[in-house]
Amino acid sequence: MLDAVDAVVVGKRAALELVLLGVLARGHVLLEDNPGLGKTLVARSFALALGLEFKRIQFTPDLLPADITGSYVYDQRQGTFEFRKGPLFTNLLLADEINRTPPKTQAALLEVMQESQVSVEGTTFPLDPPFVVLATQNPIEYEGTYPLPEAQLDRFLCRVRLGYPDRDDEWEVLRQRIERRVDAIDVPAVVAREEVLALQEAVEQVGVEETVGRYMVDLAAATRTNPQVLVGASPRGALALLKLARGKALLDSRDYVTPDDVKAVAVPALGHRITLRPEMWVRRVTGDDIVRQVLDTVPTPPTVVPRR
């Protein structure tokens, strides 16, 4: 799966692995970076490679909650109201530029991302698994954006930044476009929906020793006591560490989690869950910086191989 997407999104293997971990851990991924770095391409390529039903929502300032959840429409032939499903009813949803729509529409995603169901006029409609949201956003200092509130950010299992490619990778992008002769990119389906569900279940079988689990708890707790932090990571942050670390172990062909797995996913799992004190903005300190500080200060437990 990674090879299929990596052939299209050049030079971003580490970021692509984090996106795949989010999918395998039954979570949602926030792709945050400057325009033109391939955030939409990443989401679309994963949908094709995973063989999942894919829908895209372009978030705009005039988008209403009913535009994404669906609504009841009167059927003149039957004389009844019929529910017409919105684009949320899919396996992989691309929420493109999610910070360009007002908070009311952003909030419509809260229940769906947490409960995998849609409630309209008192009726609940469950979504077929798997359901994954890959949301993209540009930095909030760009004009015409609405910063995501903390409650919305906390629903994302991890935040991934792509960054600019190096010189050779950027030329490879151009070379592929010259060879392709069209803008459209085709990604072959590597697995099917049933196999994705089986992989998600396999993540749940990965073992976690108590020392490693307590290490995750200590990392999340340390963000709450940092003097630069106003609000630290919640217990949901520790759960995100657990899910992503299990997926990381699985990708490395292990059925147990090591402290190195936890360290590898700590920044994308916890960085966006931290609210800094206002003066930290002037010092250009970010949530990711706090997590790196915590990783340097919290003692790392020894690696223990579980007994069979």
Render pLDDT for 108-118 as a digit per residue (tens, 0 to 9). Answer: 887 788 888 88
Residue 226 lies in a domain: yes
Render pLDDT for 139-151 as a digit per residue (tens, 0 to 9). Answer: 765 666 777 878 7
Residue 86 lies in a domain: yes
Q: Based on C-alpha coordinates, what's the Rg of the chain?
A: 20
Element (H, E) at 274: none
114: number of Cβ within 10 Å = 12
Model pLDDT, residue 100: 86
Mean of the pLDDT values across residues 82-89? 89
Is the pLDDT at 92 greater than 80? The verdict is yes
Phi, psi of 146 (to 5 degrees): -120, 110
What distance, in Å, lies between the first and last C-alpha atoms of the chain? Answer: 30
Model pLDDT, residue 144: 66
Is the pLDDT at 29 greater than 90? The verdict is yes
Same domain, 51 and 176: yes
Model pLDDT, residue 37: 82
Residue 191 lies in a domain: no
Same domain, 231 and 164: no
Using DSSP, state whether 121 is helix, strand or coil.
coil
Model pLDDT, residue 109: 83
Model pLDDT, residue 154: 87
Q: Output DSSP code: residue 127.
A: P
In degrees, to the nearest 5, what angle opens at C-alpha 236 toward C-alphas 68 and 38?
A: 50
Model pLDDT, residue 273: 92
Nearby residues of 180 by Cβ (< 8 Å), 6 or more positions away: none
Mean of the pLDDT values across residues 75-85? 84
Is the pLDDT at 220 greater than 70? The verdict is yes
Last residue of a domain, one of 130, 163, 180: 180
Model pLDDT, residue 267: 96
Residue 232 lies in a domain: yes
Same domain, 176 and 209: no
Tokens 């990708």 -> residue: 251
Residue type, 240: A
Q: Which domain holds residue 89?
A: 2-180
Mean of the pLDDT values across residues 54-80? 87
Same domain, 89 and 236: no
Residue 200 lies in a domain: no
Same domain, 175 and 209: no
Render pLDDT for 153-192 as a digit per residue (tens, 0 to 9). Answer: 888 999 999 888 899 999 998 998 898 888 878 888 899 9
Tokens of 270: 């916890």
Q: What is the CATH number of the domain that holds 110?
A: 3.40.50.300
Phi-psi bin for 174: left (phi > 0), alpha (psi -120 to 50), beta? alpha
Residue 192 lies in a domain: no
Same domain, 21 and 162: yes
Residues 238 and 215: beta-carbon distance below 8 Å: no
Q: Considering the entire predicted model, what is its pTM?
A: 0.90
Mean of the pLDDT values across residues 221-231? 92
Mean of the pLDDT values across residues 225-229? 91
Model pLDDT, residue 106: 84
Render pLDDT for 230-278 as a digit per residue (tens, 0 to 9). Answer: 998 999 999 999 999 999 999 999 999 999 999 999 999 999 999 889 8
Element (H, E) at 70: strand 70-75
CA–CA distance from 272 to each of 13, 104, 138, 172, 287 (Å)? Answer: 21, 21, 14, 31, 6
Helices (H), 116-206: 150-153, 167-180, 193-203
Tokens of 203: 């993540």
Q: What is the CATH number of the domain that holds 252?
A: 1.10.8.80
Tokens of 117: 């169901």
Model pLDDT, residue 143: 62
User: What is the rounded CA–CA span in Å between residue 220 and residue 231?
Assistant: 11
Residue 278 lies in a domain: yes
Same domain, 174 and 212: no
Same domain, 170 and 211: no
Count the domains in the chain.
Answer: 2
Residue 188 lies in a domain: no
Last residue of a domain, one of 180, 215, 230: 180
User: What is the rounded CA–CA span in Å between residue 74 and residue 76?
Assistant: 6
Same domain, 110 and 211: no
Model pLDDT, residue 244: 97
